[in-house]
């Protein structure tokens, strides 16, 4: 059943990484991203890899689950690796027929592949695996709040994100129902050519959109009836507070990363 699809790949838990403030996690993953791109040399890169491994262990999410997040980008990873490997000219390392692989090419390809992997692993670790989507939305609202003064609709954006998250399962369920109903009327979504399939989709998408609009309308009225009038003067059930743990962890990670950079530039 579509109903059981969970959004994102949140892995419930109570590890240190789970308990960090989501705002801290967003900022840390940006910081980590920068570090990943600054690191060039093999030794610092190895150290950064080890740091990432420590983070993975800290999250208490099974390795298999973490590495699974690489699957969607596996193709890009291999593609970029091969392109870099074959196109970058330099000192010849190996020649097979018309194909020449250079020392620089191999180096760049490996470095890039490692960077991409570290990037994906660290962001999924911080943001998707240990933080629920709704907390990410909340944290983004908080972080963007200062921009409200220049007219940026931070609250509205976060509200839209959280309502979208709320309705994904409902709409998935509805899609399944509509498909079943149209199947009973002879619609066929599996066989037939591209055009037939596209036509079949129309019979699902139109009712789905109609119902989504109706839901939106009713939800708006229901929200108004519950005194919703935008972000002004609104309080929250869950107040985000940085704890000493957030500060200590952030400082440690920053110190570690700086040390790695130091190794590289000294």
Partner 1 sequence: MQAFIDISKVHFSYRQSNQDPLLAVQDVSLQIASGSHVAILGRNGSGKSTLARLINALEQPSKGVVVVSGRNTAQEENVWEIRRLCGMVFQNPDNQIVGTTVEEDVAFGPENLGFPQPDIRRAVDESLAYVGLAEDAQKPPHLLSGGQKQKLAIAGILAMKPACLILDEATSMLDPVSRHDFMQLVQTLVHDQNMTVVNITHHMEEVLLADFVYVMFGGRVVTSGTPAEVFDQVSLVRREGLDVPDHTEITHTVARLLDGSLQPLEAASWDRARLAIIRLLDEANRRAAQTGWYPELPRKERPVPPDEAETVIAVNNLSYVYAPGTAMETRALDRISFDVRKGELLGIIGHSGSGKSTLIQHLNGLLRGHKGQVTVLGMDGSTNADIKKIRQRVGLLFQYPEHQLFEETVFQDIAFGPKRMGLDMAKIEPRVLKAARIVGLQDEELERSPFELSGGQKRRAAIAGVLAMEPEILILDEPAAGLDPAGRDEILDYAAQLRRMGVTVILVSHSMEDIARLADRVLVLRQGRVHAFGKTADVFSQEEELALAGLSLPRTTAFLKSLSDALPALDWHCFKPEEAALRIAAAGLNPAFCAERTV
State the residues that interact with partner 1 by CB under 8 A: 1, 3-4, 132-134, 162-163, 165-166, 169-170, 173-174, 177-178, 180-188, 202-203, 206-207, 210-211, 214-215, 218-219, 221-229, 233-239
Measured CA to CA, the distance from residue 217 to residue 227 in angstroms comes to 16
Q: How far is the CB of 222 from partner 1 (least distance, A)?
A: 4
Q: How far is the CB of 26 from partner 1 (least distance, A)?
A: 18
Q: How far is the CB of 169 from partner 1 (least distance, A)?
A: 4
Name every residue whose Cβ is closer than 8 Å to that of residue 33 and which is 6 or more positions away in sequence: 119, 122, 123
Distances in Å between the Cα of 245 and the Cα atoms of 89, 133, 263 are 48, 22, 27
Measured CA to CA, the distance from residue 10 to residue 106 in angstroms comes to 35
Considering beta carbons, is residue 48 or 187 the nearer one to partner 1? 187
Check: CB of residue 56 under 8 Å from CB of residue 17.
no
Measured CA to CA, the distance from residue 136 to residue 121 in angstroms comes to 17
Q: How far is the CB of 244 from partner 1 (least distance, A)?
A: 20
Considering beta carbons, is residue 89 or 185 the nearer one to partner 1? 185
Considering beta carbons, is residue 73 or 163 the nearer one to partner 1? 163
Considering beta carbons, is residue 194 or 221 the nearer one to partner 1? 221
């Amino acid at each position: 059943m579509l109903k059981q699809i969970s959004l994102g790949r949140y892995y419930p838990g109570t590890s240190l990484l789970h308990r960090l403030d989501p705002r801290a996690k967003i900022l840390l993953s940006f910081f980590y991203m920068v570090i990943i791109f600054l690191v060039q040399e093999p030794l610092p890169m190895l150290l950064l890899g080890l740091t990432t491994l420590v983070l993975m262990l800290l999250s208490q999410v099974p390795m298999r689950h973490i590495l699974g997040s690489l699957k969607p980008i596996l193709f890009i990873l291999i593609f970029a690796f091969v392109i870099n490997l074959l196109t970058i000219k330099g000192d010849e390392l190996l020649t097979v027929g018309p194909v020449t692989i250079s020392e620089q090419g191999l180096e760049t390809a490996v470095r890039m592949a490692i960077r991409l992997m570290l990037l994906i692993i660290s962001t999924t670790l911080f943001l998707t695996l240990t933080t629920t989507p709704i907390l990410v939305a909340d944290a983004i609202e908080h972080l963007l709040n200062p921009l409200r003064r220049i007219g940026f609709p931070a609250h509205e954006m976060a509200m839209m994100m959280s309502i979208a998250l709320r309705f994904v399962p409902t709409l998935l369920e509805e899609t399944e129902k509509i498909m079943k109903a149209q199947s009973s009327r002879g619609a066929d979504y599996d066989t037939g050519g591209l055009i037939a399939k596209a036509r079949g989709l129309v019979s699902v998408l139109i009712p789905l959109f109609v119902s989504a609009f109706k839901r939106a309308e009713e939800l708006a009225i229901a929200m108004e009836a519950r005194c919703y009038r935008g972000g002004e003067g609104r309080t929250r059930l869950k107040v985000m507070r940085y704890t000493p743990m957030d500060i200590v962890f952030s400082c440690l990670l920053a110190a570690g990363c700086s040390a790695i950079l130091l190794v590289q530039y000294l």
